[in-house]
Amino acid sequence: MTVLDLVHEVDTGDYDSAAAYGLSIVGTGMTMYGGMLLAQVAGKGAGLLAMAGPWGWVALGLTLAVAGGVAAIFLDDEPLEEWLKRGPFGEENDDEFKHLKSDPDESFYRLVNLVTRPRVAVKSAHNFNVNAAKRGYVLSADQDRELSDINTEVTIENNLCGLMDEVSLKSELRLVDESPSGSNWGLGSRKVTKIQNVTVLAEEPIENGKRIYLALPEKKSGLTTSGLEVRAQWTSVWNGANQCLKLVFPAPKLADDTRFDPAAHGEPNFESDNLLFWASQKTHGIS
């Protein structure tokens, strides 16, 4: 039925839903393809995508088949549509996306990045010490006083943990002061004038990430403002075509073929929100 649904959506001009049905078809095809590769894994010449790892394509194929069927009603995701059109299963050839066609590992990596998105949230927190006691934690008097100061909760998540093995999360938090830059008096760009470390008072693991609890000073207002900045980066191990690869998330935009460089991308930049391979509450924030 999905193929007929796809044809119907294209005929009626509903290309977003068509893309979702296409995603489901591709997912099913990937699963079938991966199954065939498993049967031929001892042979030679199994094809370019075989090198990307049949189990990986089977697992992701099943995920996409389900996700595509569920998302058909509301999908509006241009990057995913681009991957379908210009990736290894698409018919369009574009110099801007050569890295998707020529490298099965890179294509798989970028697809995983599209379906596993970072989420960073910063919100107020109250009565952490009281809630900890209600949950059965026994606090000393010093711990109770310290935890009573907590006023900020940071949640960092990524469902990458449910799809890839050996996922690790690196998070960095700073208190940043900013002032107007130029002659527009706050109406134009702003410049970071001070970066301070923050002390983590408590941390707890959650299913797809972790929560961090802080006691932050009152925010500055006026020409110089202050606020918490969060940076997060995930790494995973992928058994690729010819070697075991370290994959770093979030990946660049689909058309950007930049490869991860530890010297350039291994540490966060708190003076910009646009550093590749790092998520922030501004680039990947949720309310």
Please tell me the pTM assigned to this model: 0.73
Kindly tell me if the per-residue pLDDT of 275 is higher than 90: no
Q: What is the pLDDT of residue 239?
A: 75
**What secondary structure letter does DSSP report for 287?**
-
Q: What is the pLDDT of residue 221?
A: 79
What pLDDT digit, counting tens, does each position of 88-101 carry? 777 777 777 888 87
Would strands 244-249 and 190-197 be described as parallel, antiparallel, or unpaired?
unpaired
Q: What is the pLDDT of residue 187?
A: 54
Work out the average pLDDT over 246-253. Answer: 94
Q: What is the pLDDT of residue 57?
A: 53
Bridge partners (DSSP) of residue 246 are 237
Residue from 223, 164, 171, 172 nearest 196 by CA: 172
What pLDDT digit, counting tens, does each position of 104-131 carry? 888 888 888 988 889 999 999 999 999 9
DSSP string, 211-246: EEEE-PPPPP-SSSEEEEEEEEEEEEEEE-SSSEEE
CB neighbours (10 Å) of residue 246?
12
Amino acid at 193: T
What pLDDT digit, counting tens, does each position of 139-155 carry? 899 999 999 999 999 99
Spatial neighbors of 31 by CB under 8 A, at least 6 apart, are: 57, 58, 61, 62, 65
User: 9 or 154: which carries more pLDDT confidence?
Assistant: 154
pLDDT band at 59 (very low <50, low <70, confident <90, very high): low
Work out the average pLDDT over 256-279. Answer: 92
